[in-house]
Structure 1
Amino acid sequence: MIDLNQSLDLATVTGFTGSVTTARTVRADRATSTQEAILKAAERLYAEHGVFAVSNRQVSEAAGQGNNAAVGYHFGTKTDLVRAIEHKHRGPIEELREQRIADIGDSTQMRDWVAALVCPLTDHLAALGNPTWYARFAAQVMTDPAYHNIVVKDALSSPSLVRVLDGINGCLPDLPVDVRVERNIMGRNLLMHSCADRERLLAQGSPVARPSWQAAATGLIDAIVGLWHAPVTEPS
């Protein structure tokens, strides 16, 4: 039987353990909140000014952090921070793409596969509301040699994206390999930079050509399908 002293000791230990657990939870929540603030601030600044032009100190200040080393503490290098922003968006986009692939199955229609490339991005941007910065952030990163691979090569490690590209290639079996590579790059740039331009106009409150991201996706699908079906002229 536990005597009174033992009961008091157990109560003390239990209370101490509970306090430690609560303190750890508060610290974890605070760290998560700080990390989210840093991610949002960095994404906006990188989108508006480019990755190279923005220092970790500026990101920390924009995130409301008095400690200028907050970025390094929570994320490490600038490359780590850029990758963290990309990964934050990649998850939702992956889910949307996987659903598209499940819906179209073994389709042999080019438009289905191009839609599976375009719509996950535009649907994600639509879900974020306005203003958004991700399309401009990704466009900036894609044009920066130091960070290009984070968006491009890392993205190609996605099984769902590889499946979409295979689906597009399967619709044009006679297209030469070098032309496939060329048009894949063209299509990728058209998609991301068009979304970045629309995102910028929306953030500024300027007129846009189409009323919604869904309508913008339709125009992009038309253009990218036309790009893939364009004639191939042999170099002279």
Structure 2
Amino acid sequence: MQTGETSRVGSWDATGEAARAPRAGVTSVDSRGEATRNTIIEVAVRLFAEQGVLAVSNRQIGAAAGRGNTSVVGYYFANKADLVRAVMRRFMERVSVGRERRIAQLGDAPDLRGWVTCLVFPYTELLDAEGPPTWHARFIAQVLTDPGLRETAVEEATSQPIQRILDGLRECLPDLPDRVLEDRSRIASHVIVQMCAERERSLADGQPVHPPTWDEAATGLVDVLVGMWTAPVTTTED
């Protein structure tokens, strides 16, 4: 080391003086990039929900995000499927946290209603906490019916808590054939997504909703799904 040159050791230099902290208001390039990426995701889910996933272009998203360069979306997401995946992942990761918390509170012998509650309430609780307005339920309802995006959406919605809930349902319904359990699980997914999307749309438009709270709406969904899973299985001859 040359005379007069200082070396850094942790956050201190060789003279024993504390290294200068970054100036207030100075943001790293990585932090700015992450902020831009998050803004794009937030704007995209709103536009997708309001106008339709296929109807919204990257240029529209960039402009709505307040970026002078309307091609900015392409710097962060390779294509629309990549952006859809990011929007889904950001929301479903938070839903998964809620499901993990609910599962941990079930106790030693959870019943069917307990498992269904773990499925429904974390989804509605997040929508309740973030709005109104919210956009994720309408967005998810769209991508789950789009042939080109459905697989991406399903991949992001499938998680360890979901698998644990399905295992719990199977334990509570030992006489229900696996095929029927899988069919009813798909029906449950559509019921949750579509009913929440309808409620979300009404709230965003300022229309009256019934029941008046997300908690009551979730309780009603749980009632319906418990009834569906315990319904008799009608067999037909080939």
TM-score band, normalised by the shorter chain? 0.7 to 0.9
Deviations 1:136-162 (A, max 9, x none): 111111111111122213322x11110
The counterpart of 2:132, out of the listed 130, 140, 147, is 130
What corresponds to 1:62 in structure 2? 64
Q: Does the Cα contact within 8 Å between 1:50 and 1:141 map onto a contact in 2?
A: no
CA distance in 1, matches of 2:26, 2:207: 46
CA distance in 1, matches of 2:169, 2:152: 23
In the TM superposition, residue 102 of structure 1 has moved relative to its aligned partner by: 0.6
Determine which structure has the larger helix proportion and give its number: 1
**2:144 paired with 1:142:** yes
Q: Which runs of 5+ in 1 are unaligned?
A: 11-16
**Secondary structure of the residue that 1:107 maps to in structure 2?**
coil
1:133 counterpart letter in structure 2: W
1:175 counterpart letter in structure 2: L
Q: Does the Cα contact within 8 Å between 1:56 and 1:69 map onto a contact in 2?
A: yes
Percent sequence identity is 45
**2:206 paired with 1:229:** no
What corresponds to 1:209 in structure 2? 210
Mean alpha-carbon deviation: is it higher for 87-96 or for 219-228?
87-96
1:95 counterpart letter in structure 2: V
Q: Which runs of 5+ in 2 are unaligned?
A: 9-18
In the TM superposition, residue 118 of structure 1 has moved relative to its aligned partner by: 0.1
Mean alpha-carbon deviation: is it higher for 111-120 or for 36-45?
36-45
CA distance in 1, matches of 2:21, 2:110: 61
Deviations 1:95-153 (A, max 9, x none): 11011111103434110000000011011111112100011111111111111122213
2:190 counterpart letter in structure 1: N
CA distance in 2, matches of 1:132, 1:161: 23
Deviations 1:1-59 (A, max 9, x none): x97xx379x9xxxxxx9799989834334323322221111101111222222111111
CA distance in 2, matches of 1:80, 1:21: 35
Q: Calculate the aligned-residue CA RMSD, in Å.
A: 2.7
Q: Does the Cα contact within 8 Å between 2:40 and 2:62 map onto a contact in 1?
A: yes
What corresponds to 2:52 in structure 1? 50
What corresponds to 1:80 in structure 2? 82
What corresponds to 2:168 in structure 1? 167
CA distance in 1, matches of 2:5, 2:232: 85
CA distance in 2, matches of 1:165, 1:49: 34
CA distance in 1, matches of 2:188, 2:149: 20
Q: Does the Cα contact within 8 Å between 2:89 and 2:156 map onto a contact in 1?
A: no
CA distance in 2, matches of 1:91, 1:179: 28
Q: Does the Cα contact within 8 Å between 2:133 and 2:204 map onto a contact in 1?
A: yes
Q: Does the Cα contact within 8 Å between 1:109 and 1:171 map onto a contact in 2?
A: yes
**Secondary structure of the residue that 1:104 maps to in structure 2?**
coil
CA distance in 2, matches of 1:95, 1:55: 31
TM-score normalized by the length of structure 2: 0.86
